A and B are shown apart, each in its own frame.
Chain A
Amino acid sequence: MPDVALRPARNDSELVSAMAAGDERAAAAFYDRHASTAMAIAFRLLRERVDAEAVVLEAFMQTWRDAARFDASRGSAVGWLLTITRTRALDHLRASGRESRRTATSLDDVASDQLAAPERSGHPGYDTEQAEQRRAVASAMRTLPDKQRVVIELAYFAGLSQSEIAERLAEPLGTIKTRVRLAMMRLRDALRPFAAESGS
């Protein structure tokens, strides 16, 4: 169950600090708060539920082991967790030789089938906020020019590097880099209010 009760009490950085001190309850709270997001990343890349769950477990174990090394000045705790998750998932893909089959799907695809809408927290205010955030993200993605949206989908949802995207789209690397940067700037501006909340 999502750890709604702890949200105002301990932010992510405080939870990670507590984990570094050996606080198992903090580990459980951190897991409850972000496991579903980590699972989404892992599943998006691996397309196998069992593999994705293994990656999520590995990623959270790594956050537990490395909690003392987390540096909040370099980014949010959830960003750190998702980077670990993504790296582990890509390692898994490479190890299984499935990397060449990576394809991107869009957020529109995601909403429909196997990825159910996020579970309700039981907290009406939080659920409303999440619904509003989902609408904002969908809207922000729709406002991107097609070519920019494609590079974001290939990078984030298929895990391709800029070089791999350039190769796949048969476009110059410099062009891809520019599209990535412009798309991310637009998304950053559009999602700034929500990003500030998730980066606690």
Chain B
Amino acid sequence: MAKEILRVEKLNKFYAKQQILYDVDFSIAQGEVLALLGPSGSGKSTLIRCLNGLEEFSTGDLFFDGQKMVPTEKNWQQIRQKIGMVFQSYDLFSNLTVLENIVLGPIKVQKKSRSQAVQIATRLLKRVGLADYLQTYPRQLSGGQKQRIAIVRALALHPEVMLFDEVTASLDPEMVRGVLEIIKELSEKDNMTMIIVTHEMNFAEQIADRVLFLEDGHILENTPSKQFFVNSQTERAREFLESMKF
């Protein structure tokens, strides 16, 4: 059994009086890829954002590497270095070049030397095929390029877990593939632990070890992905999968 990296226990989330997440329980082991699926508004993004403190949760517990997370600002700031996150809108810092975007975290947060950080950045950029863009500003890049660099920026901190929040949802169709291939390679080559919110069912089926199926803030299924896509446990999940097909 691989080591458990992250565990969520009885997590509840309210916006004002409205409850968004209900008693969410799950855990993820090292190297595992978890796909968070479900209809729009089911709470997938809220859940994934709770995992690195961008959303506060109302009750419940988070454990990282077996340690209970005390949700203070300082603790989150520490733990975010271990949990990389990539968003739907490719949010490179528009005032910084590609290189500066990537080295900002390693230098300022992890206090690495500049030359060390530049080395990491160059190596990672080479890997995603963008080594020529070190001095480019984000506005000069395509969406797909920006998203690949956003992934690199997160990886530069050497995270233990990566969170992907609908990272291909606002890309042009022909850009999607390049980004998904990088994510897949991360899992296959680096054995990266990942939680992925996506609407690309084919991709989820290929990459995920397990699927969490959410609806209205409830986890309806927590199923190995092979089983989920072939023979879901719940009627609702089957309907959902059916609706995603053409």
Partners in one complex: no
B residues whose Cβ falls under 8 Å from a Cβ of A: none
